[in-house]
Chains A and B, each alone.
Chain A
Amino acid sequence: MKTLFDRVWTSHVVKQLTDDVALLYVDLHLIHEVTSPQAFAGLKREGRAVRRPERTLATVDHSIPTGDRSVPIADAVAAKQVDVLGRNAREFGIELFDLTSPGQGIVHVISPELGATQPGMVIVCGDSHTATHGAFGAFAIGIGTSEVEHVLATQCIALSKPRTLEARFTGSREPGVGAKDLILALIGRIGTAGATGHVIEYTGEAIRALSMEERMTVCNMSIEAGARAGMIAPDDVTFAYLQGRPRAPKGKAWTTSVEQWRKLPSAPKARYDTQVTLDASQIGPQVTWGTTPGMVADITARIPDPAALGTDAERQAAQRALQYMGLEPGTPLAGIPIDRVFLGSCTNARIEDLRAAAGVVRGRHVAPRVRAMVVPGSMRVKAQAEEEGLDQVFREAGFEWRNAGCSMCLGMNDDVLGAGERCAATSNRNFEGRQGRGGRTHLMSPMMAAAAAIEGHLVDVRGW
């Protein structure tokens, strides 16, 4: 009675190293400029080669500017990092989607877009949001730079086998409730360490009803629940998304692959180590109020009173968070004024996200004193949006329309919040200082962020 995860794990064991730890084969290794330079330096120091450059894909996304691409990168340190990746890619024969490439974008957006991410694969990347690729039924994990070096040299990774957690979403979503709300609600329920040491498999009719891009949003934030990875069983939605993409199998190989992929889903009676069930019909739009993604509530709720929390540690953490966020217990979430809006990131910057947000802002205008920006997840997403005229919708509404990158999700470029600025963000982390020192982040769905941009404060998009 195997789970999806068990099947992918077992089929990739190169050698069992200890009772618990196996050497797993890596089908696809994604790299970017920030977590790879030290790995390549290590290879060179030891005189080692990249074992399978053709199983490695590189792009620049984290530290690059999202403004004008015709001028050189102004930040000399970031420019060097980008340059070093370019040189390493050339030296080791790795395909690179650089700043001039129409295929450039956030690593977790471009790999699915290319069809490089496929069901049943083991995928790694020096980035915690690698879990995104689990939406296809791949086992995809974030790793550190030492492990990046290890995978470059050996095409393998040594891992202790995680336990499994089934997150079942029953029922169906209300209009105005997005995939982001499902995952935020789960993190609110189980906590930011609720799935540590586990792979989450998302199941249930509310998951089956999601589009491929929505599934990516759900899996993307598995790490925010502490999970090693998140997975969703591949089905016809998955295959329809993949078919015809540049790196997807073609012709007879496609038919054979689909046959294999259909065998991946968990057996009906498969057992998970842990199980949690949420009723999707009871989940409203979610907004974070604190400094971890687990500090989240329905938009109709009020800021919780730390004094009412269970333990000293929880009370202290909530008090500290509210102090940082500049919020008072009991304040209704709807109505909290914002200064900035960030529509972007590997969580929510694919074409469907931009369509959903554009649908909210069409014919309206960003509130006075609010600065709002759209940063498409990839240059292909940007091109597609422009073909559909979405860029015009955003521009006319007063949004900035940027080039692709991680941008203000982590603020490594010049897209940062100022101290005390409050941001409605579609990204994945509301940690202290994440988007800029002293910046205050509220995580939410693209529709909710778009509505907040128009109103100038947090608002329930269902009332629109």
Chain B
Amino acid sequence: MAFTQHRGRLVTLPRRDVDTDQIIPKQFLKGVDRTGFGPALFYDWRYRADGSPDPGFELNSPTAQGATILVTGPNFGCGSSREHAVWALAEYGFRAIIAPSFADIFTSNCYRNGVLPVRLAGADVDALIRSTEGGLHELVIDLKKQLITDDHGFKATFTADPYGRELLLRGLDEIGRTLLEEPSIAAYERRHA
């Protein structure tokens, strides 16, 4: 799925080191499809042991409904390589995640699933987290300009990984693109036969 510009409501999850076991717990990894993970997103935090939504969890707040941008703490997506974490975030409706830092494998999984990981300075992330204290808040994320703005004067630039940015902007089939390099791959294999 291509990503060029996105306007959406943000929800904040002010925690650091949110690992992929939290994003999608293990019992949901047994499927063989890429779909069906949205309802299980943040399962152990989102639902109480009896299965009812935990009203204390940020995503269950009335103002969080319909949010498409997640603003969170450093080292988001650490731990397991499970791409199911990104599938769950995407299926839930998130198009972008803003944090001071991300884990490497998670970042690479985002770029391949139409989800934009935005690295912003801690001070900018803090400003965004404070901005939601007054209620609903919308942002515009422009991947071409690598710019985030809102209607109240917030403005921050970011730098996306150039390769990942191109995958997102063009909605590229990465495998199709690499298969165009067949002569180079075959030459490499001949050199190392």
User: Which A residues contact B (CB, under 8 angstroms)?
Assistant: 14-15, 17-21, 23, 25, 34-35, 37-38, 41-42, 46, 48, 51, 62-63, 75, 77-78, 80-81, 84, 126-128, 141-147, 149-150, 153-156, 158, 160, 162, 192-193, 196-197, 223, 226, 228, 292, 294, 313, 316-317, 320, 410-412, 419, 429, 431-434, 437-438
Contact = CB atoms under 8 A, between A and B. Distances in A.
Contacts of B16: 313, 317
B86 A144 contact: yes
Interface in B89-122: 101-105, 108-109, 112-113
Contact of A150 (B17, B73, B175): B175
A127 B81 contact: yes
A434 to B, nearest CB: 5
B88 to A, nearest CB: 13
Contacts of B179: 153-154
B103 A196 contact: yes
Contact of A156 (B32, B185, B192): B185
Contacts of A144: 81-83, 86, 105, 108-109, 112
B32 A41 contact: yes
A193 B75 CA distance: 6
A126 B20 CA distance: 14
Given A160-B163, A432-B22, A196 B17 contact: no
A130 B103 CA distance: 15
Interface in B13-45: 15-17, 19, 21-22, 25-27, 29-34, 44
Interface in B147-163: 161-163
B104 A149 contact: no
Interface residues of B, number: 50
Given A143-B105, A196-B102, 13 more contacts: A23-B185, A25-B188, A35-B82, A37-B33, A128-B105, A142-B81, A145-B84, A145-B109, A147-B108, A160-B161, A160-B163, A192-B75, A193-B101
B34 A38 contact: yes
B90 to A, nearest CB: 12
A81 B179 CA distance: 28
Interface in B177-192: 178-179, 181, 184-185, 188-189, 192
Question: Which of B74, B81, B108 has the largest number of chain A CB atoms within 10 A?
Answer: B81
26 contacts: A20-B162, A21-B163, A23-B178, A25-B192, A37-B33, A41-B33, A51-B185, A63-B30, A128-B80, A144-B82, A144-B105, A145-B34, A146-B174, A153-B178, A154-B178, A154-B181, A193-B103, A196-B102, A294-B17, A313-B16, A317-B16, A410-B21, A429-B80, A431-B21, A432-B44, A437-B49
